[in-house]
């Protein structure tokens, strides 16, 4: 009798703590820097690092989610050098702690039902190479900088594999990321699977990471790229600078030409891991920072016509996922956003309810449902877009 009562009290206390993340510090993780000798370096050569928040239930002890942070990319000397005095280029500026309260690394069980209790690892982005670089030795050709994003992931995975009860015991692993981190998921996800051994189920979940080559807006009012030039002709020099690690089966299929394998629209059909994309169909950053669309969207008639074409391309990119051999899912919204996906908005209808990207991901991941959700109403037509 007493034993049962105690068990109930403990269970109730655990449930209370889980439903109120503020009641404890479960969602705040400390920074661990990689050793000084690591190949996993930031642009400026300082060792990168990670934030680890251990699982909060026994059921999730062997489940891991790794989040690749975003933050653009650099291909020109000026832009790359301008990142050295901040966390996007140097671990000297990393914050000492990270709060797990966004995207799929959120400890809120109500809004992140799939992974709220998992081991969570946030990887800060300080390499400006879309998480693919393998240039650990700076040279004049690299402006004296390292581009070692893939090596950062490699070094963090190696540390996690060496932990007691670490990634080596994993049964399920999700590689997620947003923006540049979302781009970095696809080339790295099958590699990650290879590091883990066959007992682990490995999934990629890119957020704002479904890219194709840019074909910029050149009508009235057009701007120029703030971020790197994403036209097809520019990719060979990005590959030259970053020396990207990409999916090996994609690379073989392209006669060792790396750049088609750097963008998900051309590489997903070579990826054997299952993939779930969360994507805007009128992506604000892609349109204004890569595709020369003026930020004020004026003159609207010309700009809208361009966005309609871009959006048709994104629609077919999403639809193209659904007939691939490996399992796919997606959540594609017509909102003028990039990574602004939260539990509140935007939402898409699913089984008679309006669901967030995280709820849609849960249905796809946990309940094994078909989830191919997208708006078809035209430019900015989703009624729940965040303001």
Ligand X SMILES: *[C@@H]1O[C@H](CO)[C@@H](O)[C@H](O)[C@H]1NC(C)=O
Per CB under 6 A, residues contacting ligand X are: 140, 212-213, 215, 265-266, 309-310, 313, 317, 320, 352-354, 383-384
Q: In this complex, which beta carbon is closest to ligand X, that of residue 186 or of residue 265? A: 265
CA 355, CA 236: separation in Å to the nearest integer? 40
Q: Please give the full DSSP string across 206-250, using - where no structure is assigned.
A: EES-----B----STT----SS---BGGGHHHHHHHH-B---HHH
Q: How far is the CB of 307 from ligand X (least distance, A)?
A: 9
> 297 — alpha (psi -120 to 50), left (phi > 0) or beta?
left
Least distance (Å) from ligand X to the CB of residue 18?
A: 26
Q: Which helix (H) or strand (E) holds 102?
A: strand 101-102
Least CB distance to ligand X at residue 346 (A): 10
Phi, psi dihedrals of residue 362, rounded to the nearest 5° = -60, -45
Q: How far is the CB of 353 from ligand X (least distance, A)?
A: 5
List the structure tokens of 228.
Answer: 């790197």
**Closest approach of ligand X to the CB of residue 182, in Å:** 16
Per DSSP, the three-state class of 188 is helix
Letter string b/e over residues 121-141, b meaning 16 or more CB atoms within 10 A of that residue's CB: bbbbbbbbbbbbbbbbebeee
Please say which residue, 164 or 352, places its beta carbon nearer to ligand X: 352
Nearer Cβ to ligand X, position 169 or 284?
A: 284
Query: Which residue, 168 or 219, is less far from ligand X as judged by CB?
Result: 219
Q: Which residue number has the CB closest to ligand X?
A: 215
C-beta separation of 46 from 91 below 8 A: yes
Q: How far is the CB of 115 from ligand X (least distance, A)?
A: 25
Is the CB of 55 or the CB of 243 nearer to ligand X? Answer: 243
User: How far apart are the C-alpha atoms of 219 and 225, rounded to whole Å?
Assistant: 14
Helix 180-196 to helix 149-162 angle (10° resolution) is: 40
Nearer to ligand X, 51 or 147 (CB): 147
């Amino acid at each position: 009798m007493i034993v049962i009562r105690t068990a109930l009290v403990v269970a109730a206390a655990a449930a209370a703590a889980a439903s109120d993340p503020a009641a404890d510090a479960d969602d705040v993780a400390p920074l661990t820097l990689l050793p000084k000798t690591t190949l996993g370096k930031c642009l400026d050569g300082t060792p990168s690092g990670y934030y680890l928040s251990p699982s909060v239930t026994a059921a999730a002890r062997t489940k891991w989610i790794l989040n690749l942070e975003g933050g653009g990319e650099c291909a020109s000397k000026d832009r790359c050098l301008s990142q050295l005095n901040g966390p996007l280029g140097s671990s000297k500026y990393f914050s000492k702690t990270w709060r797990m309260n966004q995207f799929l690394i959120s400890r809120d069980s109500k809004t992140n039902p799939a992974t709220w209790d998992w081991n969570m690892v946030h990887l800060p982005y300080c390499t400006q190479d879309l998480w693919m670089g393998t240039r650990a030795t700076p040279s004049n050709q690299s402006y004296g900088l390292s581009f070692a994003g893939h090596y950062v992931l490699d070094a963090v995975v190696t540390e996690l594999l060496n932990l007691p009860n670490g990634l080596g015991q994993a049964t399920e692993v999700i590689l997620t990321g947003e923006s540049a981190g979302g781009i970095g998921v696809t080339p790295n996800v099958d590699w990650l699977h290879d590091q883990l051994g066959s007992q682990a189920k490995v999934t990629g979940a890119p957020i704002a990471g479904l890219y194709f080559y840019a074909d910029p807006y050149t009508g009235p009012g057009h701007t120029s790229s703030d971020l790197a030039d994403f036209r097809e002709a520019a990719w060979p020099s990005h590959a030259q600078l970053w020396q990207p690690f990409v999916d090996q089966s994609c690379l073989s299929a392209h006669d060792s030409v790396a750049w088609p394998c750097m963008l998900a629209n051309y590489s997903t059909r070579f990826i054997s891991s299952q993939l779930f994309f969360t994507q805007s169909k009128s992506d604000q950053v892609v349109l204004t920072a890569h595709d020369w669309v003026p930020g004020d969207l004026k003159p609207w008639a010309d700009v809208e016509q361009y966005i309609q074409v871009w959006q048709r391309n994104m629609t077919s990119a999403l639809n193209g996922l659904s007939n691939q051999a490996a399992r796919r899912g997606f959540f594609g919204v017509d909102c003028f956003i990039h990574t602004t996906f939260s539990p509140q908005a935007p939402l898409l209808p699913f089984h008679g309810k309006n669901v967030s990207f995280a709820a849609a991901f849960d249905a796809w991941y946990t309940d094994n449902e078909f989830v191919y959700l997208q708006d078809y109403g035209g430019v900015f037509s989703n009624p729940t877009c965040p303001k």
